[in-house]
Amino acid sequence: MRLPKAGTIEVVPSVLSADFARLGDEIAQITSAGVSMVHLDVMDGHFVPNITIGPPVIKKIRKESDLVFDAHLMISEPAKYAEPFIEAGADHITFHIEVAEDPVGLIDKLHDLGCSAGICLNPETPVEAIASVAPLCDMVLVMTVHPGFGGQAFMPEAAKKIVQVREIVGPDIRIEVDGGIDTQTAPIVVSYGADTLVAGNAIFSKTDRNAAIEAIRRSFS
Ligand code: DX5
Ligand code: ZN
């Protein structure tokens, strides 16, 4: 599966806030709401102070879903694990600039392996850190919370970096935003130029996920 071409605004549920005991059902629910992608947060307890899922879980849900699997690697050694995540079924892999030893090499490797590539920057990381590699990516991820946990408050200053990123990458590369996205903050990040909106808590804390996704869509259109 490929990332949808730039030009549409996508709401991308992050299953971090889903019920992991019923992950297949949760993904089926968001699929029926018409999303094209699902955001999979991978944490190693080292780069971030939390541990989540790895390739075995992704491999299992791959059998259940045709959504684009957007894997957000919050791990210290992304290059070491790129292949296992692709083999498990990741379609798009985002890694963090803060821990990338050879970001261009890793982007090339992902592309060679048939996976699209994303670079991510933490709230305190300046846009300059990704300026040379962002144009080589298929999507740039701007964090609007400190990575590690769902349900945190949106950081307005970090979101402003979207404007700078858009200037660098032009209209054809997606800009994803992750952290604290809901019906209040979605219109702000869309106005800055984001087109791929990750939302965890705003969707999975609601019983009606379909309605929650629809409410976010309405908030910016
Ligand atoms: C946080 C993760 C996010 C998280 C977002 O480290 O990268 O994807 O699930 O959750 P919300 O939307 O609840 O801020
Ligand atoms: Zn994420």
Summarised one tens digit per residue, pLDDT across range 24-46 is: 999 999 999 999 999 999 999 99
**Residue 122: pLDDT band by 50, 70, 90 thresholds?**
very high
- Over range 147-172, report the average pLDDT: 98
The ligand 1 atom nearest the CA atom of 201: 13
pLDDT at residue 127, as a whole number:
98
Q: Give the number of other CB atoms < 10 A from CB of residue 177.
A: 31
> What's the pLDDT band for 204 if we cut at 50, 70, 90?
very high
For residue 174, give the H/E element and its range. Answer: strand 174-178
Residue 36 is classified by DSSP as S
- Beta sheet of 68-74, edge-to-edge order: 10-13, 196-199, 174-178, 139-143, 116-121, 92-96, 68-74, 37-43
The set of protein residues with a Cβ atom below 6 angstroms from ligand 1 is 14, 16-17, 39, 41, 72, 145, 147-152, 178-181, 198-202
| pLDDT given for residue 145 in this prediction | 98
pLDDT band at 156 (very low <50, low <70, confident <90, very high): very high
Average pLDDT over residues 48-56: 98
Query: Which pLDDT does position 179 carry in this prediction?
Result: 98
Average pLDDT over residues 79-91: 98
pTM (2 d.p.): 0.98
Residues taking part in catalysis? 41, 178
Check if the beta carbon of residue 139 is closer than 8 Å to that of residue 115. Answer: no
CATH topology of domain 10-220: TIM Barrel (3.20.20)
Q: How far is the CA of 39 from the centre of ligand 2 (A)?
A: 7
CA–centroid distance, 176 to ligand 2, in Å, is 10
Q: Please list, in sequence order, all residues whose beta carbon lies within 8 angstroms of the beta carbon of residue 70, skipping any fewer than 6 positions away.
A: 3, 12, 37, 38, 39, 40, 90, 91, 92, 94, 118, 176
Closest C-alpha among 186, 183, 178, 122 to residue 152: 178
Categorize the per-residue pLDDT at 191 as very low, low, confident or very high, splitting at 50, 70 and 90.
Answer: very high
